[in-house]
Amino acid sequence: MNAIYLRAFGGVEQLVDGLQPRPVAAPGEVLVEVGASGINLADTYIRRGAFPIEESLPFIPGMEGVGRILALGEGVGGLRVGERVVFAAPGSYGAYVTIPLQGAAPWISLAPAPEGLPLAELASLGMAGRTAWGLVNRFVTGGGKALVYAGAGGVGSILIQLLRRRGIEVVAMAGSPHKAQAVRALGARAVEYRRQPLEEGGFDYIFNGVGGASLARDVARLAPQGHLIWFGFAEEAGAPGLPEALQAHFMAAPSLHLFNGGLMSAAQNRAAYGELIGGLEEGWLRIQIGALYGPEQIGEAHRHLESGQSQGKLVLMRSLT
């Protein structure tokens, strides 16, 4: 079957179609036929060569998805061939992925998934969903007020719902009236930052996946002993002015945290999948799907994501079941 390969670092033209032979599940591995893959902003960083990876070119990108088990390697128990699973693993833009259950990087994970839930929503849990769950469960210890950047995005929209479920008042940044409407539908107050600056403060938690100069501004928005959580760099990898801002607000005792969902433990991954899948089944969690793409449209999907105009989760579809 065919897969999407990255043949060289650069533009979307480097994402090309190629044949992927069916792999063999080695001992301790699970072979999965991919039905759908989440498309993440980190995928665009990897494509451009701006993100550390271990794979050698050419390779199959992608980090999360949903599919069915084709084969179980020796020593794998508790799963069955034909079972639907959600996963986080390299190569989800392919037709197949092999997922090691032991000895792999902490973020590589897998969990059984119910048959009745939409593929596109399940494909969004391995990275976007786990990241949102990890942010909430590591840093939120009680009530209060939170600011969420990119509230209409794949991570932000799930994060809003998890925070609201824990009784947190949520204010979310939105880049357009349509995005503002989407975050309001999730129970957050929206700030259209391109039309009006955020003047509100007193936040107990700020979840910033943007980076850049916004981090220094966020320090002044924190309540005393508030938490600024930096988990991405959609704007830029640097943080100009941040040391000076922390020094200027020293007496308010702000806390700065760096978060990498790739370091979540196996137990945390299991708990994340359990709550997220349970939320989909119970109806309190909604995955906002922005657009579905076929393999031949992957370049268009990356351009859309990089434009900053996308809303909700973008998903690469290979199967309808």
Could you read off the pLDDT of 127-145 as tens digits, one per residue? 999 999 999 999 999 899 9
User: What distance lies between CA 292 and its chain's CA centroid?
Assistant: 16
Distance between CA atoms of residues 98 and 112, nearest Å:
15
- pTM of this prediction? 0.94
Give 41-75 pLDDT, tens digit per residue. Answer: 999 999 999 888 888 999 999 999 999 999 999 99
Q: Is residue 237 within 8 Å of residue 211, measured between CB atoms? A: yes
Fold entry, domain 2-124+287-317: Quinone Oxidoreductase; Chain A, domain 1 (3.90.180)
Q: What one-character-per-residue DSSP string does 266-310 give? A: HHHHHHHHHHHHHHHHHTS----EEEEE-GGGHHHHHHHHHTT--
Identify the band that residue 102 occupies on the pLDDT scale cut at 50, 70 and 90: confident
Considering all CA atoms of the chain, what is the largest pairwise distance in Å, rounded to the nearest integer? 60
DSSP designation for 264: -
Which pair of tokens denotes residue 261?
């969902």
Q: Which residues contact 97 (CB under 8 A, 6 or more apart)?
A: 31, 32, 34, 65, 67, 87, 89, 90, 91
Residue limits of CATH 3.90.180.10 in the chain: 2-124+287-317
Task: Note whether 205 and 231 are within 8 A (CB).
Answer: no
**Closest Cα to residue 21, out of 6, 35, 1?**
1
CA 289 to chain centre: 13
Contact 9, 34 (CB under 8 A): no
Amino acid at 2: N
128-261, which class in CATH?
A: alpha beta
Instruction: Give the residue range(s) of CATH 3.40.50.720 domains in the chain.
Output: 128-261
**pLDDT higher than threshold 80 for residue 178:** yes
